[in-house]
């Protein structure tokens, strides 16, 4: 008997064309003839769009100056935006009172950051302060009328500030109404259920513009003559109704995702309907729908631009109005790009945040 | 026993309590409507506005930029409603078609194994989804279409079509006598194809014999009407747009308001459709594809018989809500003056007549009807294709 001992030969290295940069290119860009053609088309497209756009926006753009004459190069004239930035941010709010807006927004920024960042102490207290005290502080800061602050009428509010106010108040008031509607829609009481369904489907079935038209034209007819609503309040009422219907559907999604066992267990413990709802169901359901709530907030944030149609001066409307200035004709592209980038940065970061939350909160009932 | 039942208060009985709450709710809602109703009557009386729909037959006295049916300023307000409604439907239908095509292309491109194409599609979706629609409409209308040349310097495509700041001019087909035959042949051919398709399915289920329907469908729907068309002597001619004075005459004119609205609506909605398509395809378990290939199905059959039917279950509900959004968003037309229902009826007509309640109610009624109809159809369809679980 002879024993054959074979020493295994070392593994051959993979072919050079399938590893490294070349391998990646082959696999992801040139795997077949059609793919190669698509890649080339894509490259041409990028070459045609990206360098000219970058040139226009940055390399040949004008940044410093104070008049139209300072824009001498071929690129974008950001001077137009920079000169008017205060108006774009605050509308016609008196410049001496800007600090009130800044304080108010900084305060809410700190509060929200406190609530969002993990491991900050006393979250409950801060949340209660944000919900119950902050709105009052913000009202007096924005509108004034006491504590020695002069009154700033709402028709002077405008720009990004108005956009933020509309979106946050709309959201803040729509959430509780939405929760009640969602509970109503899943209620066992037939009349409450029918009414919730009618309310939700009505507001979801009509465009926001008609809602805004309705609140601006019909609200004064519906209410007693002595009740005066200013334009901003009328728009807000329309937005809140509209938004609460969407919010209700989001919350309903969360309620439906709670397994029956949770209701049954709560019932077995002898908890009443309201205790079950507030201590068992809603905490779980709301946690599940936070990403959905962020998404509806993004939609609302974009939709606030519609108020320009009923004559409020939000960010887009202020910029649109600035195009008509005879000293600054012909800078509409710069203006639109500025507004678009403000919206884009806000909406994109919010949607990223909601995706992050979705991953983080995904501890629920999925099996 | 009787003692304990006496102690029970009525509000501890779930049935009575729910009855009480509901009566209270009805009373509150009724009170609210009564409050609104009495205020409205009082305010209308004070302002001297008469209620009712009599204004619909009054003479309108204003012109409309674009109308699918003949309209002059001598027509009634009722007709302005119709013109606006048709314009809304026009832009919605075109928008749905374009958005679907772009959306499906981009959704599939995002899943492409070509890295560059997938990234380009992602960038497209992320950019246009996060910018407000109204801003996009303004951008196309005020920044892009206003930069087009004047009528005398129009861009032209072989003297057939022209583009300038006033709009897009296309040749208009003129149908002569006898074109009706072609149309009827076309309709009959579609009916015949449907009948053949049914017969084919039935026969395949009974006998397993297959029948390639595409040849028959092509022959019936395309070749046959063409034959009829030439047989009756080509009853079709084209009217070309011609520059006369300061503008083009003849042909079909597509106003820039429609172009801008259509561009913005379809590009914006397509990003959401792309996401729906992507999530739908990703929702199909990879085991399904693998099992289908293991059964020896060809790649195209895997897609057609296994992946798409399952992906559609996820895609259809999202697609529906995007279509509804598109119809509702088409009301932004009023911001650039495209004569849709809101601009013509809830805008101009409301200003001329002052009949706020009737006009807003009619406008909202139209959108509600469209929304509820589409969602009813889609719910029915959804039930039909729903997964039957054991």
Q: Do B135 and A343 touch (CB under 8 A)?
A: yes
Q: Band of the pLDDT at B386, cuts 50, 70, 90?
A: low
Residue B53 has pLDDT above 80, yes or no: no
Which of A209, A219, A298, A300 should one mutate to test binding to chain B, selecting the residue with the greatest count of B CBs within 10 A? A209
**What value does the mean pLDDT of chain A take?**
85
Chain A contact set for B366 (CB, 8 A): none
What residues have CB less than 8 Å from B55, skipping those under 6 apart?
B77, B353, B355, B358
Does B353 touch chain A if contact means CB atoms closer than 8 Å? no
Q: Which of A139-143, A269-273, B223-227 has the highest mean pLDDT?
A: A269-273
Confidence (pLDDT) at B388? 62
Q: pLDDT (tens digit, 9 = 90+) per residue, A331-366?
A: 888 889 999 999 999 999 999 988 888 788 766 554
Least reliable range by pLDDT among A238-252, A272-286, B154-168, B301-315 = B154-168
Shortest distance, CA A181 to any CA of chain B (angstroms) = 13
| Predicted pLDDT of residue A181 | 93
Q: Residue B7: helix, strand or coil by DSSP?
A: helix
Alpha helices (H) in A186-322, listed in sequence order: 190-205, 208-217, 219-222, 231-257, 260-268, 273-275, 282-303, 315-322
A56 touches chain B (CB under 8 A): no
Pick among A25, A340, A355 to test the B interface (most B CBs inside 10 A) = A340
Q: Report chain B residues whose CB lies below 8 A from the CB of A42.
A: 114, 116-117, 120
Judge whether residue B17 has pLDDT over 60.
Answer: yes
Q: Which residue of B has its CA nearest to A224?
A: B39
* Confidence category of residue B2, pLDDT binned at 50, 70, 90: very low
A205–B372 C-beta distance less than 8 A: yes
The residues, any chain, with a CB within 8 Å of residue A206's CB and separated by 6 or more, are B328, B364, B367, B368, B371
Residues 6+ positions from A89 with CB-CB distance below 8 Å: A159, A160, A161
- Cross-chain Cβ contact A336/B135 below 8 Å: yes
pLDDT at residue A1, as a whole number: 66
Instruction: State the complex-level ipTM.
Output: 0.87
Confidence (pLDDT) at B6: 55
Distance CA B69, CA B189 (A): 29
Concatenated DSSP letters for A337-366? HHHHHHHHHHHHHHHHHHHHHHHHH--SS-
CA distance B135 to chain A (A): 7
What is the pLDDT at residue B3?
A: 47
Residues B111-153 have pLDDT tens digits of 888 889 999 999 999 999 999 999 999 999 988 888 787 777 7
SS3 state at B179: helix
CB contacts under 8 A, A 253-312 vs B, are 298, 302-303, 305-306, 308-309
Residue B63: pLDDT band by 50, 70, 90 thresholds? confident
The reported pLDDT for the residue numbered B387 is: 63
- The answer for A 30-49 residues in CB contact with B (under 8 A) is 31, 35, 38-39, 42-43, 45-46
A residues 82-141 near B, CB within 8 Å?
Answer: none
Per-residue CA distances from B39 to A266, B43, B88, B225 (Å) = 46, 6, 33, 63
**Quick check: B181 and B265 in contact, CB under 8 A?**
no
Taking an 8 Å cut-off on Cβ atoms, the answer to whether A218 and B360 are in contact is yes
Greater confidence (B211 vs A272) lies with A272
> Chain B residue closest to A332 (CA)?
B143
**A to B CB pairs, distance under 8 Å:** 145
Confidence of residue B7 (pLDDT cuts 50, 70, 90): low
Residue B78, classified by CB atoms within 10 Å of its CB into exposed (0-12), middle (13-18) or buried (19+), is middle
Average pLDDT over residues A248-272: 89
The CA distance from B129 to the nearest CA of chain A, in Å, is: 9
Do A221 and B112 make contact, defined as CB atoms within 8 angstroms?
no
Q: Quick check: A284 pLDDT over 70?
A: yes
pLDDT at residue B203, as a whole number: 87
Which has the minimum average pLDDT: A78-87, A198-207, B58-67, B202-211? B58-67
C-alpha distances (whole Å) from A16 to each of A12, A24, A101, B95 are 11, 11, 62, 49
Closest residue of B to A300, CA-based? B132
Query: Each residue of A98-133: pLDDT tens digit?
Result: 888 888 888 888 888 888 887 888 888 888 888 888
Residue B114 to residue A192, Cβ atoms within 8 A = no
Name the residue with higher pLDDT: B64 or B31.
B31
CB-side neighbour CA atoms (13 Å) of B56: 11
CA-nearest residue to A207 within chain B is: B328
Chain A CB within 8 Å of residue B112 CB = yes
Asked if A207 is an interface residue toward chain B (Cβ–Cβ < 8 A), one would say: yes
Q: Hey, of B125, B134, B320, which one would you mutate to test binding to chain A, going by the most A CBs within 10 A of its CB?
A: B134
Residues B68-96 have a mean pLDDT of 85
Q: Do B21 and A303 touch (CB under 8 A)?
A: no
In angstroms, the CA B214 to CA B220 distance is 10
Contact, B44 vs A221, CB < 8 A? Answer: yes
| Among B21, B112, B138, beta carbon nearest to A189 | B21
Kindly report the nearest CA distance between residue A29 and chain B, in angstroms. Answer: 5
State the Cα angle at B274 between B273 and B279, rounded to 5°: 100
Q: Give the mean pLDDT of A298-318.
A: 90
What percent of chain A has a predicted confidence (pLDDT) above 90? 21
Closest residue in B to A319 (Cα) is B135
Q: What is the pLDDT of residue B128?
A: 93
| Percentage of chain A lying above the pLDDT 70 cut | 98
The DSSP H or E segment spanning B174 is strand B172-175
Nearest to B276 by CA among B320, B327, B308, B318: B318
Minimum distance, in Å, between the CA of residue A25 and any CA atom of chain B: 9
CA-to-CA dists, residue A181 to A184, A252, B383, angstroms: 5, 9, 26
Min Cα distance A222 → chain B (Å) is 5
Are B46 and A225 an interchain contact pair (Cβ–Cβ within 8 Å)? Answer: yes
Residues within 8 A of A (CB atoms), B 236-255 only: none
**Among A94-103, A149-158, A260-269, the range of highest mean pLDDT:** A260-269
Token pair 């583009």: residue? B163
For each of the domains in chain A, give its residue range(s) and CATH number, in order of start. Answer: 157-312+352-361 (1.10.3720.10)
pLDDT at A367 over 50: no
- The whole-angstrom distance between A206's CA and the closest CA on chain B is 5
pLDDT of amino acid B1: 43
Q: What residues of B are in contact with residue A322 (Cβ under 8 Å)?
A: none
Q: Which of B27, B35, B43, B132 to mutate to test the interface with A (most CBs of A within 10 A)?
A: B132
Contact residues, B window 119-178, toward A, CB-based 8 Å cutoff: 120, 126-127, 129-135, 138-139, 142-143, 146
Give B26→chain A minimum CA distance, Å: 8
* Range with lowest mean pLDDT among A287-301, A303-317, B253-267, B372-386: B372-386
Q: According to the model, what pLDDT value does residue A87 have?
A: 85
Q: pLDDT higher for A193 or A64?
A: A193
DSSP state of B149: P
Structural domains in chain B, sorted by start: 77-156+255-385 (1.10.3720.10)
Sheet of B155-157: strand order equals B155-157, B161-164, B167-170, B252-254
Predicted confidence (pLDDT) per residue in A152-200, tens digit: 787 888 889 999 999 989 998 999 999 999 999 888 888 888 999 999 9
User: Cβ B112–A43 below 8 Å, yes or no?
Assistant: no
- Mean pLDDT (whole number) for A214-235: 84
Which residue of chain B is at minimal alpha-carbon distance from A339? B135
pLDDT tens-place string over residues B324-349: 999 999 999 888 888 888 888 888 88
Find, among A153, A175, A166, A170, the residue nearest to A305 by Cα: A166
- Count of C-beta atoms within a 10 Å radius of residue B143: 18
């Amino acid at each position: 008997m002879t024993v054959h001992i074979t020493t295994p030969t070392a593994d051959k290295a993979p072919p050079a064309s399938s590893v490294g940069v070349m391998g990646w290119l082959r696999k992801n860009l040139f795997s077949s003839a059609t793919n190669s053609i698509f890649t080339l088309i894509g490259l041409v497209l990028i070459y045609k769009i990206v360098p000219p756009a970058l040139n226009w926006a940055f390399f040949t753009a004008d940044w410093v100056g104070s008049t139209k004459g300072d824009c001498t190069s071929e690129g974008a004239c950001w001077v137009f935006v920079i000169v008017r930035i205060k108006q774009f941010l605050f509308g016609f709010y008196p410049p001496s009172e800007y600090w009130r807006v800044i304080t108010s927004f900084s305060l809410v920024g700190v509060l929200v950051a406190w609530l969002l960042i993990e491991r900050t102490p006393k979250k409950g207290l801060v949340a209660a302060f944000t919900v119950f005290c902050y709105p009052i502080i913000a009202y007096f800061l924005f509108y004034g009328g006491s504590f020695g602050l002069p009154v700033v009428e709402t028709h002077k509010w405008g720009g990004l500030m108005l956009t933020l106010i509309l979106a946050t108040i709309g959201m803040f008031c729509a959430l509780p109404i939405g929760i009640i509607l969602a509970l109503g829609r899943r209620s066992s009481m037939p009349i409450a259920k029918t009414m919730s369904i009618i309310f939700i489907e009505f507001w979801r079935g009509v465009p926001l513009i008609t809602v805004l038209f309705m609140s601006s034209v019909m609200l004064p007819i519906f209410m007693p003559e002595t009740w005066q609503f200013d334009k901003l309040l009328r728009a807000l009422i329309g937005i809140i109704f509209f938004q609460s219907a969407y919010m209700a559907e989001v919350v309903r999604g969360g309620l439906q995702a709670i397994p029956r066992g949770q209701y049954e267990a709560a019932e077995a413990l002898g908890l009443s309907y309201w205790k079950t709802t507030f201590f068992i169901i809603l905490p779980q359901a709301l946690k599940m729908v936070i990403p959905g709530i962020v998404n509806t907030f993004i939609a609302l944030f974009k939709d606030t631009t519609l108020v320009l149609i009923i004559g409020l001066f939000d960010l887009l409307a202020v910029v649109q109005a600035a195009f008509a200035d005879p000293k600054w004709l012909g800078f509409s592209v710069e203006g639109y790009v500025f507004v678009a980038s403000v919206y884009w940065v806000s909406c994109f970061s919010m949607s990223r945040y909601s995706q992050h939350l979705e991953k983080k909160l995904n501890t629920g009932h999925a099996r | 026993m009787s003692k304990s039942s006496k102690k029970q208060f009525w509000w501890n009985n779930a049935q009575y309590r729910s009855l009480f709450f509901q009566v209270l709710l009805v009373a509150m809602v009724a009170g609210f409507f009564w409050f609104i109703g009495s205020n409205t009557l009082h305010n209308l009386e004070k302002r001297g506005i008469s209620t009712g729909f009599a204004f619909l037959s009054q003479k309108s006295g204003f012109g409309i930029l674009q109308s699918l049916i003949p309209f002059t300023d001598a027509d009634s307000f009722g007709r302005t409603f119709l013109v606006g409604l048709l314009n809304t439907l026009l832009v919605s239908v075109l928008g749905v078609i374009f958005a679907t095509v772009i959306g499906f292309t981009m959704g599939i491109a995002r899943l492409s194994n070509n890295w560059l194409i997938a990234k380009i599609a992602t960038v497209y979706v992320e950019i246009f989804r996060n910018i407000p629609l109204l801003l996009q409409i303004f951008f196309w209308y005020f920044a892009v279409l206003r930069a087009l040349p004047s009528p005398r310097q129009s861009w032209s495509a072989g003297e057939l079509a022209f583009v300038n700041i006033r709009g897009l001019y296309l040749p208009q087909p003129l149908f002569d006598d006898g074109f009706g035959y072609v149309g009827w042949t076309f309709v009959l051919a579609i009916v015949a194809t449907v009948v053949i398709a049914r017969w084919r399915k039935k026969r395949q289920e009974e006998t397993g014999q297959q029948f390639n329907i595409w040849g028959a469908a092509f022959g019936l729907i395309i070749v046959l009407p063409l034959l009829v068309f030439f047989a009756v002597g080509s009853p079709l001619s084209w009217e070309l747009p011609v520059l006369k004075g300061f503008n083009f005459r003849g042909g079909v004119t597509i106003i820039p308001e429609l172009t801008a609205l259509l561009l913005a609506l379809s590009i914006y909605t397509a990003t959401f459709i792309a996401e729906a398509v992507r999530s739908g395809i990703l929702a199909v378990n990879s085991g399904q594809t693998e099992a289908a290939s293991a059964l020896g199905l060809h790649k195209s059959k895997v897609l057609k018989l296994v992946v798409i039917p399952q992906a559609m279950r996820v895609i259809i509900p999202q697609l529906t809500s995007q279509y509804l959004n598109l119809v509702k968003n088409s009301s932004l037309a009023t911001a650039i003056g495209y004569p849709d229902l809101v601009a013509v009826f809830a805008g101009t007509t409301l200003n001329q007549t002052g009949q706020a309640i009737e006009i807003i109610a009619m406008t909202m009624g139209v959108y509600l009807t469209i929304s509820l109809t589409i969602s009813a159809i889609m719910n029915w369809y959804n039930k039909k294709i729903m997964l039957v679980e054991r």
